[in-house]
Amino acid sequence: MINQVSPSSPGVNGIGSMSSVWAVVEAARAGASDARDAAANALPQTARAIRAGIHTTGFAIGFTVCFPAFLVARLMPKDNCLAYGLADGSRAACDLARETVRPTAEADGVPELAVVQA
């Protein structure tokens, strides 16, 4: 007959009860399981926080650049040299951006983006 050790076995090597050893083993297993779960949840939460930070930064930059530009454009009279110069400069910038992006997009097989002109 083989001696089996169980949580209720009498003490061995000066240990009063094996139940305390089993409690330590179970606590280690539970701790490892909790650590594994925490690590699995930490990465998605960190990625979500980084995405939110990038979005907020982009929003702030876009808003602080575009709002004053559109405010000035709305307040300025439409039929003058400055308004025509701004409109021509905007079109030239869009054309340059389109020409800069086009070779890369065609090489990758990505269709060209449609630009809406006002």
**Complete DSSP assignment for 71-86:** HHHHHS-SSSHHHHHH
- pLDDT of 98 higher than 80: yes
From residue 77, give the alpha-carbon distance in Å to each of 9, 17, 42, 92: 94, 91, 54, 21
> Would the pTM of this model clear 0.85, i.e. be above it?
no
What is the reported pLDDT for 79? 85
Query: Distance (Å, rounded) from C-alpha 22 to C-alpha 8?
Result: 10
Give the model's confidence band at 1: pLDDT under 50 very low, under 70 low, under 90 confident, else very high.
Answer: very low
The string of pLDDT tens digits covering residues 38-79 is 777 778 888 899 999 999 999 999 999 889 888 887 888 878
Q: To the nearest 5 percent, what fractions of the chain are helix, strand and coil?
A: 75, 0, 25
**pLDDT of the residue at 4:** 52
The residue with greater pLDDT, 43 or 17, is 43
CA distance 46 to 52: 10
End-to-end CA distance of the chain: 92
Question: Which two tokens mark 83?
Answer: 């308004």
Using CA atoms, how far apart are residues 35 and 47, in angstroms rounded to an integer? 19
Q: Which residue has the higher pLDDT, 36 or 6?
A: 36
